[in-house]
Amino acid sequence: MKQKNANNSSNGTGSNGRSPKRKDGKIRVAIVGVGNCASSLVQGRYYYEDAKKDDFVPGLMHVELGGYHVRDIKFVAAFDIDKNKVGKDLSEAIYEKPNNTYVFQKVANMGVPVERGMTHDGLGKYLSQIIEKAPGPTADIVNILREREVDVMVSYLPVGSEQATKWYVEQALQAGVGFINAIPVFIGREPYWQRRFAEEGLPIIGDDIKSQVGATISHRVLTRLFMDRGVRLDRTYQLNFGGNTDFLNMLERERLESKKISKTNAVTSMLDYELDPDDVHVGPSDHVPWLEDRKWCYIRMEGTTFGDVPLNAELKLEVWDSPNSAGVITDAIRCLKLGLDRGLAGTLVAASSYFMKSPPEQIHDDVAFNRVEAFIRGEDNETLVGTEKAKPRKMRKMAAPRTRIIASAAAGEASGTPTPAAAPASASTAAGKGR
């Protein structure tokens, strides 16, 4: 069942165990994982608290979104396992090592202690070498969420935290809290979890946050440009490296399965034909400590134009990784609160498609943007509740090229070596063997 508006919500607002709606106009937020991303999110809330309604703020759709200003976000709970952070005020913990992101705002004491969270599989081989777990038992998460009347839980757990993510999702469901899954563990896109949230009358946005202008969105847009201009994409790679704990954690390749799936599908979903898996490589490459929270991305795309003539494109992108997604999460928080206000349940389609790399439905970004604007106006309240049939992708079969110009030949462009417009039949056959 798809919910098109709040009136046909499966649960309305009365059956999710939440307290009656407050009238203070605030969005009460709990953060899971007080790392660089949490630091940028909290800093940004205070950096823009005095922004005017009609100001252009980089990274935000609107200063005031659906009636909620940036300053209406109120952080009331935070959970972590790092002894450097647990027990400290959130305003202090966001600057503690190993956090190393750009500091653009000093935050005054918030009166929000960081509570001891659940570890499960959240601490991998490399992170455990630099993070010492805080002593003591796991806090009573459900009770804290209820007592502090949390509306939205944001999960910033490390990549590969499959069990820890599902554990926190269960806490949110028990407490009657909406959920934003900012990491590549598949929750919002999965029918099982869609049903669970629908049964509790709660919305979710997921999975795996897109940055404002990051590697994935840049690669998606270029891939779509190739599609729209009729260039066949033959092969591509996206290489990423950085100096934060995210990249350190991802040196443990066993934790990367869902991350690679998420980033790869975000790109290839822009095509209406299949690429051989051997012709697509998207993923993190290495950890370079001196880069700190900066990320460097290299994208290469090799394509074919009219006449089977090669066209290659390369992009280098340098960003501060965590501020790059903080504005997106700020908008997602406010959209999720609108879903709560309207009694929507299940995965919010428009918001997930625009804000996330792995939503239930991959929608072209310009279309998804317009749908989020419609959602904000109350015109597009579509949700997925886990009972829908998956929409089949319409795929084309690409015409076989008469000539196959391999990468080494195309590389002649850079050296000034002329590339023949056509190859002899024997060379064409040899180059195309097995393709």
Q: What is the mean pLDDT of the chain?
A: 89
pLDDT-derived band at 421, boundaries 50, 70, 90: very low
CB 204 within 8 A of CB 154: no
Across the range 424-433, mean pLDDT stands at 39
pLDDT of residue 394: 76
Residue 61, both tokens: 């759709």
pLDDT of residue 425: 42
When mean pLDDT is compared across 30-34, 368-372, 399-403, the lowest value belongs to 399-403
pLDDT-derived band at 426, boundaries 50, 70, 90: very low
- Residue 155 to residue 153: CA distance in whole angstroms: 6
Q: For a pLDDT cut of 90, what percent of the chain falls above it? A: 80
pLDDT of residue 1: 45
Beta-carbon contacts of residue 105 (< 8 Å; ≥ 6 apart): 43, 44, 46, 47
Query: Does 423 score more than 50 pLDDT?
Result: no
CB 208 within 8 A of CB 183: yes
Query: Does 260 score more than 90 pLDDT?
Result: no
Across the range 116-134, mean pLDDT stands at 96
Q: Which domains does the chain have, with CATH numbers?
A: 2-211+322-384 (3.40.50.720), 215-321 (3.30.360.10), 400-435 (no CATH)
- Residue 236 to residue 44: CA distance in whole angstroms: 34
- Residue 49 to residue 43: CA distance in whole angstroms: 10
Q: For a pLDDT cut of 70, what percent of the chain falls above it? A: 86
- Tens digit of each residue's pLDDT (9 = 90 or more) over 16-73: 555 555 678 999 999 999 999 999 999 999 999 999 999 999 999 999 999 999 999 9
pLDDT of residue 422: 44
pTM: 0.88
CB 35 within 8 A of CB 27: no
pLDDT-derived band at 154, boundaries 50, 70, 90: very high
Query: Does 179 score more than 80 pLDDT?
Result: yes
Across the range 312-330, mean pLDDT stands at 98
Does an H or E element contain 259, and which? helix 257-268
pLDDT-derived band at 406, boundaries 50, 70, 90: low
pLDDT of residue 20: 52
Q: What is the number of other CB atoms lying within 10 angstroms of the CB of residue 304? A: 21
Query: Does 412 score more than 80 pLDDT?
Result: no
Q: Identify the bridge partners of residue 180 per DSSP, sorted by sequence position.
A: 154, 205
For 341, the 3-state DSSP assignment is helix
- Residue 405 to residue 428: CA distance in whole angstroms: 8
Query: Does 321 score more than 90 pLDDT?
Result: yes
